């Protein structure tokens, strides 16, 4: 199991959290997604490491942006 944390900008409400969670949860191998709205942190647990571009695409699809680390 791999756990990764990302910073997402633009989320302001629970609807935002649901959108991001749904998009990332739909990725192959993702087992859990946790979003901390006040900090914008998204923690993803997956069977194997996921490329940042895959996470970025899911966050973009939800209408938000992955912050460069």
Per-residue pLDDT, 69? 63
- pTM across the whole model: 0.94
How many CB atoms are closer than 10 A to CB 31? Answer: 12
Domains and CATH numbers, the chain: 2-66 (3.30.70.100)
Take residue 27 and report the two structure tokens written for it: 């990725």
Contact 5, 41 (CB under 8 A): yes
- List pLDDT tens digits, range 29-43: 999 999 999 999 999
């Amino acid at each position: 199991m791999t756990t990764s944390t990302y910073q997402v900008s633009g989320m302001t409400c629970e609807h935002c959290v649901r959108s991001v969670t749904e998009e990332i949860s739909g990725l192959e191998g993702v087992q859990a997604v946790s979003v901390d709205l006040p900090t914008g942190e998204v923690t993803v647990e997956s069977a194997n490491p996921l490329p940042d571009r895959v996470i970025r695409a899911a966050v973009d699809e939800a209408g938000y942006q992955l912050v460069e680390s």
